[in-house]
Chain A
Amino acid sequence: MGQQLKEIYLYREMLKNLVAKELRARYKGSVLGFFWTFFNPLLMLIVYSLVFSFVMRVQTENYAMFLFVALLPWNYFATSVLQGAASLVQNSSLIKKIYFPREILPLSVVLTNLVNYLLSLFILIPALLIFKVDLTLALIAFPAILIVETLLVASLTFLVAIANVYFRDLEHIMGVLMMAWFFLTPVLYPADLIPQNAKFIFNLNPATPIIEAYRSIFYAGKWPQWDVLGYLTIGLLVLVIISLVVFGRFQKTVAEEI
């Protein structure tokens, strides 16, 4: 695995270029261009706040913000996993012709979405101020939570990317799976809405404590539960190692299978 990480480091320029290409190419040719990166979350915010303050009036105070602080990191997670599933198969012409550490492809998907998430904060923070949510010192916990989330996103993206090469149906199954996962994670609803007797199942979901942590620093203005995040980090580090080993093991025949 050390060798694997070293190779990825040697190809960091490729990784950087792929991320830059993805970010710039996505909106190329459109009139607003790169500004779409900001307009997308802004429009999403406008729609949600209109729907939930005028049409469907939810009891939760400031529901649009309650939702928005959780939805943005969820999108980072879900989009990465879904795009990551196709990342190797889509780049088959590159894989068949050139040697490079194959990990670069799913990793570039994760980093692209990470950057997109970070850029959406330029919409989120002003929105929180406008909706009069108190921003507190707890915001400095953000990088830590982001790293924990990225461990989860990266390891799952590695696993689905390599699995999809051998089992193409996965790409299509993932759409439904991620939707189910979305509803099983307290993004739309607060975590205390989960019935007590189902709690232990929900606790197995690694996305729950991450979403909760974001909500607590952005929305509630409180520090996240450090002990929970600590345990989660240990578990996720194990998952990262497993995913790299599995990826390394199966990537050898990738060029023949796609």
Chain B
Amino acid sequence: MANEFFNANVVEIKDLWKKFQVYQDKTISLKERIIFWGRQRTEGFWALRNINLSVPKGKTIGLIGRNGSGKSTLLKIISRILYPTQGEVKVRGKLSTLLELGAGFHPDFTGRENIFLNASILGFTRKEIKEKLNDIVEFAELGDFIDNPVRNYSSGMYMRLGFAVAVHVDPDILLIDEVLSVGDLAFQEKCLTRIQDMQKQGKTIILVTHAPKQVEDLCDIAVWLDHGEAKLQGPAQEVAQAYKEFISGA
């Protein structure tokens, strides 16, 4: 039983397909609706085709690929923002998504008040937030600004506060979508350290990026997505290398 627990895949994706309805460039008016009644007015666009992926507990997975390759769509499906058209996704454990920093921040509220708001949107109870409050405040490095309304923040400060909340929530699985480029270099360095700490704690991380270097530095396994298909899937170094060659060749 214990053995099974340690070997368990925390995310399992089987035969996943995702189709988006692509509407024509404008909304359909009543007139057009009547004229084209019953005729198909949208065409499907397959954003993901036949994706199979098992994420073992405690590993870091990199999703790499060019813009529009379906990386973010896959991340959104894992985090249940979108639902698959076909196939299934199984997730075991508490999951947190870093798709947007500072979600739901209210400009008139202070940084401290927004920590409570933001963390509760990420699914945390008041008790959990209170326990983490000091760490979050310290991590954000906002000084006295923490008790000022967020509307007075610079965009870097705003992002830092958002990131501080997001990395202090304590999920089993963390999904990150290209948010590592926040703040100045020193702060980025701090974020990377924080992610490495989480790796040491045995958290599972799924990371979306288009920088092969991040895949090499942070990931164990990588998936290279191209036009919605997994072009290459395997050890991070190998995939990153192949992707680099592809980019420089193209």
Contact = CB atoms under 8 A, between A and B. Distances in A.
Q: Determine if chain A interacts with chain B.
A: yes
Interface of A: 10-14, 16-18, 21, 25, 28-29, 93-100, 252-253, 255-256
A11 B120 CA distance: 7
Contacts of A18: 117
Contact of A98 (B81, B106, B125, B126): B81
Interface string B94-127: 0101011001101011000000110011111110
8 tightest Cβ-Cβ pairs between the two chains A and B: A97-B100, A13-B120, A14-B120, A252-B83, A17-B120, A97-B99, A99-B80, A28-B108
A255 B125 contact: no
Contact of A255 (B76, B100, B106): B76
A97 B103 contact: yes
B123 A17 contact: no
A251 to B, nearest CB: 9
Contact of B82 (A14, A21, A255): A255
A69 to B, nearest CB: 34
A256 B103 contact: no
A25 B108 contact: yes
B106 to A, nearest CB: 6
A13 B21 contact: no
Contacts of B106: 21, 25
Given A29-B108, A256-B82, A17 B117 contact: yes
B20 interface: yes
Which of A21, A28, A93, A99 has the most chain B CB atoms closer than 10 A to its own CB?
A: A99
Contacts of B100: 93, 97-98
Interface in B9-24: 20-21
A99 B103 contact: no
B108 A255 contact: no
A212 B108 CA distance: 41
A98 B126 CA distance: 19
A136 to B, nearest CB: 40
B79 interface: yes
A175 to B, nearest CB: 20
A13 B130 CA distance: 12
Nearest to A104: B121
B81 A97 contact: yes
B85 to A, nearest CB: 10
A14 B123 contact: yes
B108 A94 contact: no
A41 B76 CA distance: 44
15 contacts: A11-B123, A13-B120, A14-B120, A17-B120, A17-B121, A21-B117, A25-B109, A94-B103, A94-B104, A95-B81, A97-B81, A98-B121, A98-B122, A99-B79, A99-B95
Nearest to A10: B123
Contact of A94 (B83, B97, B121, B124): B121
A96 to B, nearest CB: 7
A96 B81 contact: yes
B103 A13 contact: no
A14 B119 CA distance: 8
A15 to B, nearest CB: 8
A98 B121 CA distance: 8
A94 B104 CA distance: 7
Which of B83, B97, B121, B124 has the most chain A CB atoms closer than 10 A to its own CB?
A: B121
A85 B108 CA distance: 25
A256 B108 contact: no
Interface string B3-36: 0000000000000000011000000000000000
A20 to B, nearest CB: 9
A13 B125 contact: yes
A196 B99 CA distance: 60
Nearest to A168: B27
Contacts of B122: 98
A239 B184 CA distance: 53
A45 B31 CA distance: 47
A222 to B, nearest CB: 42
Contacts of B83: 252-253
Interface string B185-208: 000000000000000000000000
Contacts of A255: 76, 81-82
Given A94-B104, A98-B81, A14 B76 contact: no
Contacts of A252: 83
Contacts of B116: 17
A256 B117 contact: no
Given A25-B108, A255-B76, A256-B20, A98 B97 contact: yes
Given A13-B126, A97-B81, A99-B80, 19 more contacts: A10-B123, A13-B124, A13-B125, A13-B129, A14-B120, A14-B121, A17-B121, A18-B117, A21-B109, A95-B81, A97-B99, A98-B103, A99-B79, A99-B95, A252-B83, A253-B83, A255-B81, A256-B20, A256-B21
